C-alpha cells in the first residue's frame, strides 16, 4: 500500500489536502509551512513546482508561480525542498506541476529524483491519460502515484478510463474552470461525484474553488478528500507568522471531522 | 496521412490539455470530420471565400523586385489583398462556419498582431456570433489600429496583462476562458498550433493558399516553382502554402522565422532554428525554453511572429528535411519591407517582410528561369507606426 493509499484506508476520515507553491513567498516559508500543515491535521501536501504558463490556474496561483520563478525556484530547487521536508514530516508529499518542466528534466530522471526526495505522487493537469502512458510506466516502476484528474465534462467512458489509470486517488475538478477562490460550490457537484462513485471505488478528492470551511464541510459529505489551494496562497501572502494559515487549516480539519453539523 | 489518429505528426502534436477540454476537443474533432465530409459545408466555404474574402488572391510576378535582385523570378501570392488584409480570414471563415454548425454562438480567440483578431471579428459580425478577443497589453499598444477595427466590428477586446503580455499569454488566457466555458463557447484558434485537431484543421482551411498557387503557376507557366518561401510564427500561412506541394519533391520549401535582434542575443522568436522540443499550448513541438522547461520570453519587431512555439507539423517537416527553416532579423525584415515598397509599390506586413528579405537575398544567386513564390501573407498598414519608429521618422 502506498503512503497515499493508506491515507484513505482510515474509515470515515476525510483527507485534507492543501496546495502551496514552492518558494512562495520564500523557500524558508515553504520549509516552515509544510510541518505546520502536517501538525494542523493535513493528510497530504501538494507542492507546486512553478511553471511559466500555468493555463489551468487562476490569478492567485499564477501570481505565486511568477513570483517563485523570479526568485529562482526551479524543479531542482523544489526537489531539494522536498528532500528537506521529508526529514521533517511523514505525510505524503505530492508534486503538482505542468508537463513541460517534467519533460525537460527527463521523465526517468525526474521520477528518480522524486524517489530520492521522498515524493509520493505527481499531479500534472495538462497530461490527460492519452498522453500519459510513458510516464505511467516509469511512475509505476518507481512506486510513485500518478494522480489523474476528472472534470464535470468527462464522459462515462473517460471516467472509466481515468478510474483505471489513476493511482492513489482521483482528483475531481469541481467546476469547469481554472483554480481560484469561489464563493459557492457548483450546484451540480453532488451529481458529478455520485456519477463517478457509480463507476469506481477509488478515493475521490475534490478541488478547485474550495476556499471556506463551510464549503469543505459540504464536500466532505460526498467525497473522500478536499483540496484547498488558492485561499491558502492568499493567506500566505502577508502572514509571516503563518498563524492565519494554521488557524485556517485547523478550521478546515474540524469541518471535515464533523461533516453533518449544521 | 498525417496527423495520426492521436493528432501526431511523427513525434509532434498530441493533446496536452486539462481534462475539462478533452471532451470539448473530441466534440470538435467529430464535428470537423463530419463537416469535412459534407460537400455543402465546402460549398459555403468556397462561396464566401470568393464573395466575402475576395478569393482567389492573385499570384503576381514582381518584375521590379526580381529585376532589382537580378536573378530568379519572384512571384508574390497576394494574401495581403484578401479581406481584412491577411491570410487569417481563410481560417476564421472556416472555423466560424464550423462553430455555427455546432450551435456555438460565443466565439473566443487570441490575437498577436491583431490580424487573426480582426479576421475573427469580421467573420463573427458577418455570421452574427458573439466575439471575445484576448490580446496581450504589449500587442494592444503595438497594434492599436487593429484593436479599434475589432471593436468597430462588435468584438470585445480583453487585455491580457500576464507574462510577457504578448501572443503566448493571450493564448493562455483564451484557453482559460475555454476551460471555464467549454460547453457553449468555441475557441477559434488562429494558427496551426495547439492541441489536435487545431494544427490539421487550421492547415486544411489555409491550404486554399497553396492549392490556388499551384493552379495559378501551372496555368501560367506549365510548371511548378523551384522555391516557396513563407514566414513562420505559429506557421499557418507557411503550412497553407506548403501543404499542397509536400509531395512535389522538387519544390523546395523554406520557412523564415524571426531572428529578432539576432539568434545569439537570445532576443528572437526562432523556435525551429534555435529551440528545443517541449510541450506548450497543448502540443509537443519545438519551442524556446530555458534549461528548466520554462518558456522563454521572445522578441520580434513583428507581433505576429513573436511567439515561442511553432506548429507541430513544421517540427515534423524540419526533422524530415522536407522543409528548411532560416531566421531573418528585425533589421533585415525592415529592409525587406522598404525594398518591396520601393520596387513594387506594395506595403507588406512586417511578418512577410521577413520572407521578402530572404527571397531577395536568395534570388540574386539563382538563374533567370528559376521561380520563387513568396507568400505575402498580409499587408502593412497596421505596421506603419512601428516602421516609422524603427526608421526614426515621424509620419
* A:55-74 residues touching chain B, CB 8 A cutoff: 55-56, 58, 62, 66, 69, 74
pLDDT reported for residue B164: 81
Residue A19 pLDDT more than 90?
A: yes
Minimal Cα–Cα distance from B196 to chain A, Å? 12
> Between B14, B23, B172, which is nearest A158 by CB?
B23
Instruction: Report whether B336 contacts B348 (CB < 8 A).
Output: yes
pLDDT in tens, B218-239: 999 999 999 999 999 999 999 9
User: A39 an active-site residue?
Assistant: no
User: B110 an active-site residue?
Assistant: yes
Residue A190 pLDDT more than 90?
A: yes
Q: Is A242 at the interface with chain B, CB within 8 A?
A: no
C-alpha A195/C-alpha A197 separation (Å) is 5
Top residue of B167, B177, B279 to mutate, by most chain A CBs within 10 Å, is B279
pLDDT-derived band at A238 (thresholds 50, 70, 90) equals confident
> Between B176, B280, B282, which is nearest A178 by CB?
B176
Q: Is A202 at the interface with chain B, CB within 8 A?
A: no
C-alpha B144/C-alpha B159 separation (Å) is 12
> Between A76, A101, A126, which is nearest B18 by CB?
A126
pLDDT reported for residue B341: 98
- Mean of the pLDDT values across residues A206-232? 97
Per-residue HEC secondary structure of chain B comes to CCCCCCCEECCEECCCCCCCHHHHHHHHHHHHHHHHCCHHHHHHHHHHHHHCCCCCCCEEECHHHHHHHCCCEEEEEEHHHCHHHECHHHHHHHHHHHHHHCCCCEEEEEECCCHHHHHHHHHHHHHCCEEEEEEEHHHHHHCHHHHHHHHHCCCEEEEECCCCCCHHHHHHHHHHHHHHCCCCEEECCCCCCCCCCHHHHHHHHHCHHHHHHHHHHHHHHCCCCCEEEEECCCCHHHHHHHHHHCCCCCCEEEEEEEEECCHHHCCCCCHHHHCEEEEECCEEEEECECCCCCECCCCCCCHHHCCCECCHHHHHHHHHCCEEEEEEEHHHHHHHHHHHHHHHCCCECHHHHHHHHHHHHHHCCCCCCCEEEEEECEECHHHHHHHHHHCCCCC
pLDDT reported for residue B395: 63
Residues of chain B with pLDDT under 70: 395
> Between A76, A104, A178, which is nearest B278 by CB?
A104
Say whether B182 and A66 touch across the interface (CB within 8 A): no
> Between B22, B181, B182, which is nearest A128 by CB?
B22
Minimum CA–CA partner of A99 in chain B: B279
Residue A181 pLDDT more than 90?
A: yes
Could you say which of B53, B79, B104, B110 is catalytic?
B110
Minimum CA–CA partner of A110 in chain B: B292
pLDDT in tens, B276-287: 999 999 999 999
pLDDT reported for residue A116: 98
C-alpha B308/C-alpha B103 separation (Å) is 33
Instruction: Report whether B308 contacts B288 (CB < 8 A).
Output: yes
Could you say which of B191, B236, B271, B377 is catalytic?
B377
Say whether A126 and B292 touch across the interface (CB within 8 A): no
Minimum CA–CA partner of B287 in chain A: A100
Chain B residues interacting with chain A (CB cutoff of 8 angstroms): 6, 14-24, 162-163, 168-169, 172, 175-176, 179-183, 278-282, 289, 291-295
pLDDT reported for residue B163: 80
Top residue of B14, B15, B20 to mutate, by most chain A CBs within 10 Å, is B20
Residue A261 pLDDT more than 70?
A: no
Could you say which of A43, A46, A120, A224 is catalytic?
A46
Question: Is B140 exposed, middle or buried, given 0-12, 13-18 or 19+ CB atoms closer than 10 A?
Answer: buried
pLDDT reported for residue A262: 57
C-alpha B307/C-alpha B298 separation (Å) is 6
> What is the value of ipTM here, to two decimals?
0.96
Residue ranges per domain, chain A? 13-256
Say whether A52 and B163 touch across the interface (CB within 8 A): yes
| A&B contacts, CB < 8 Å | 116
CATH of domain A13-256: 3.20.20.70
pLDDT reported for residue A241: 86
Minimum CA–CA partner of B24 in chain A: A153
pLDDT in tens, B86-119: 999 999 999 999 999 999 999 999 998 899 999 9
Top residue of A78, A100, A152, A178 to mutate, by most chain B CBs within 10 Å, is A100
Say whether A177 and B179 touch across the interface (CB within 8 A): yes
- What's the pTM value of the predicted model, to 2 decimals? 0.97
Minimum CA–CA partner of A58 in chain B: B176
Amino acid at each position: 500500500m502506498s503512503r497515499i493509499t493508506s491515507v484513505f484506508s482510515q474509515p470515515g476520515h476525510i483527507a485534507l489536502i492543501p496546495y502551496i507553491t514552492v518558494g512562495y513567498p520564500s523557500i524558508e516559508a515553504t520549509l516552515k509551512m509544510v510541518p505546520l500543515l502536517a501538525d494542523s491535521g493535513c493528510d497530504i501536501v501538494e507542492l507546486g513546482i512553478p511553471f511559466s504558463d500555468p493555463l489551468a490556474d487562476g490569478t492567485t496561483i499564477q501570481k505565486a508561480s511568477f513570483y517563485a520563478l523570479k526568485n529562482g525556484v526551479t524543479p531542482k530547487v523544489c526537489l531539494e525542498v522536498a528532500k528537506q521536508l521529508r526529514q521533517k514530516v511523514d505525510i505524503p508529499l505530492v508534486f503538482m506541476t505542468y508537463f513541460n518542466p517534467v519533460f525537460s528534466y527527463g521523465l526517468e530522471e525526474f521520477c528518480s529524483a522524486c524517489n530520492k526526495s521522498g515524493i509520493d505522487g505527481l499531479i500534472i493537469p495538462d497530461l490527460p491519460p492519452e498522453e500519459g502512458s510513458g510516464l505511467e510506466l516509469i511512475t509505476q516502476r518507481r512506486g510513485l502515484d500518478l494522480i489523474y484528474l476528472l472534470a464535470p465534462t468527462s464522459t462515462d467512458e473517460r471516467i472509466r478510463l481515468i478510474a483505471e489509470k489513476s493511482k492513489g486517488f482521483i482528483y475531481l475538478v469541481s467546476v469547469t474552470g481554472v483554480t481560484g477562490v469561489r464563493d459557492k460550490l457548483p450546484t451540480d457537484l453532488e451529481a458529478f461525484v455520485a456519477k463517478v462513485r457509480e463507476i469506481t471505488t477509488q478515493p475521490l478528492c475534490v478541488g478547485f474553488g474550495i476556499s471556506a470551511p463551510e464549503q469543505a464541510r459540504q464536500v466532505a459529505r460526498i467525497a473522500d478528500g478536499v483540496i484547498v489551494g488558492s485561499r491558502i496562497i492568499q493567506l500566505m501572502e502577508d502572514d509571516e507568522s503563518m498563524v492565519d494559515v494554521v488557524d485556517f487549516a485547523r478550521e478546515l480539519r474540524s469541518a471535515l471531522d464533523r461533516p453533518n453539523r449544521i | 496521412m498525417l496527423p495520426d489518429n492521436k493528432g501526431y505528426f511523427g513525434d509532434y502534436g498530441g493533446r496536452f490539455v486539462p481534462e475539462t477540454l478533452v471532451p470539448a476537443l473530441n466534440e470538435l474533432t467529430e464535428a470537423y470530420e463530419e463537416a469535412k465530409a459534407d460537400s455543402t459545408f465546402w460549398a459555403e466555404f468556397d462561396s464566401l471565400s470568393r464573395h466575402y474574402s475576395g478569393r482567389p488572391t492573385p499570384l503576381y510576378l514582381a518584375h521590379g523586385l526580381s529585376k532589382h535582385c537580378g536573378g530568379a523570378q519572384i512571384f508574390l501570392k497576394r494574401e495581403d489583398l484578401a479581406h481584412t488584409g491577411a491570410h487569417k480570414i481563410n481560417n476564421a471563415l472556416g472555423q466560424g462556419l464550423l462553430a455555427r454548425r455546432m450551435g456555438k454562438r460565443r466565439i473566443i480567440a487570441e490575437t498577436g498582431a491583431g490580424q487573426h483578431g480582426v479576421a475573427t471579428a469580421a467573420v463573427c459580425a458577418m455570421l452574427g456570433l458573439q466575439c471575445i478577443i484576448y490580446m496581450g497589453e504589449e500587442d494592444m499598444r503595438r497594434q492599436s489600429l487593429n484593436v479599434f477595427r475589432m471593436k468597430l466590428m462588435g468584438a470585445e477586446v480583453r487585455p491580457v496583462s500576464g507574462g510577457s503580455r504578448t501572443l503566448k499569454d493571450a493564448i493562455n488566457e483564451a484557453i482559460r476562458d475555454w476551460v471555464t466555458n467549454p460547453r457553449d463557447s468555441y475557441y477559434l484558434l488562429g494558427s496551426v498550433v495547439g492541441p489536435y485537431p487545431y494544427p490539421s484543421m487550421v492547415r486544411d482551411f489555409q491550404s486554399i493558399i497553396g492549392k490556388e498557387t499551384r493552379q495559378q503557376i501551372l496555368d501560367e507557366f506549365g510548371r511548378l516553382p523551384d522555391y516557396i518561401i513563407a514566414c513562420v510564427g505559429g506557421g499557418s500561412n507557411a503550412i497553407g502554402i506548403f501543404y499542397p506541394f509536400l509531395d512535389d519533391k522538387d519544390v523546395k520549401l523554406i520557412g523564415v522565422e524571426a531572428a529578432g535582434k539576432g539568434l545569439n542575443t537570445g532576443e528572437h522568436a526562432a523556435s525551429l532554428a534555435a529551440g528545443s522540443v517541449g510541450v506548450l499550448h497543448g502540443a509537443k513541438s519545438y519551442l524556446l525554453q530555458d534549461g528548466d522547461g520554462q518558456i522563454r520570453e521572445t522578441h520580434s519587431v513583428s507581433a505576429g511572429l513573436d511567439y515561442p512555439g511553432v506548429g507541430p507539423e513544421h517540427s515534423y517537416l524540419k526533422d524530415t528535411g522536407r522543409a528548411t527553416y532560416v531566421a531573418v532579423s528585425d533589421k533585415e525584415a525592415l529592409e525587406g519591407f522598404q525594398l518591396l515598397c520601393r520596387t513594387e509599390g506594395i506595403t507588406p506586413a512586417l511578418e512577410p517582410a521577413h520572407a521578402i528579405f530572404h527571397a531577395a537575398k536568395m534570388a540574386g544567386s539563382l538563374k533567370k528561369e528559376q521561380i520563387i513564390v513568396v507568400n505575402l501573407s498580409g499587408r502593412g498598414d497596421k505596421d506603419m507606426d512601428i516602421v516609422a519608429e524603427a526608421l526614426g521618422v515621424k509620419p
